[in-house]
Amino acid sequence: MKYLKVGIIMGSQSDWSIMKESAIILEELRIPHEKKIISAHRTPDRLWKYGEAAIESGIAVIIAGAGGAAHLPGMMASKTQIPVIGVPIPTKALSGLDSLYSILQMPKGYPVATMAIGSPGASNAALLATSILALNDSEVAKRLMEWREALSRSIEETPKE
Ligand code: RP5
């Protein structure tokens, strides 16, 4: 089975305003992807089924966003050996520190690549997923290099008054 796409999963509809930043980057880089709401607590059977079918579905990397008691990325990492990138969603109560610690503190054996809290983390998750795909796809590697070069070009050398 050739690994073809990135799976973007999130614990709630309310996470989409952040997780759409992952989708925007993947669209810019023309990386096939899908998006699903999967909650570790509210839809555990959905989580299990997604993890079980992920390799057969051609998913290469999973980006998982969750907030609060953010168990989704870690539980997905326990169910599949596909790389899981975790995005801590900002929360009202603790500003996303709860999400960050929850996703970050995995026990030895089940890694989650944890990004920054919020939108920058969601964007970087997509870029990291693309870097993983680029290892085996020179066209993807070229598109990623061009994307990075365009970003560099967009940065002014001198600050405006
Ligand atoms: C988590 O609980 C979700 O990932 C979300 O960030 C948070 C709040 O969910 P809602 O109450 O907005 O559905 O499972």
- What token pair was written down for 153? 């070009």
Q: What is the pTM of this model?
A: 0.96
Q: Measuring from each residue's beta carbon to the nearest atom of ligand 1, which residues come in under 6 Å?
A: 11-12, 14-15, 39, 66-68, 89
Q: Which residue has the tokens 């989409």?
A: 16
CA nearest ligand 1 atom 1, residue: 67
Three-state SS at 88: strand
Per-residue pLDDT of the chain (161 residues; tens, 9 = 90+): 456 899 999 999 999 999 999 999 999 999 999 999 999 999 999 999 999 999 999 999 999 999 999 999 999 999 999 999 999 999 999 999 999 999 999 999 999 999 999 999 999 999 999 999 999 999 999 999 999 999 999 999 999 99
Separation between Cα atoms, residue 100 and residue 143, nearest integer Å: 30
Rounded to the nearest whole angstrom, what is the distance from the C-alpha of residue 102 to the centroid of ligand 1?
Answer: 13
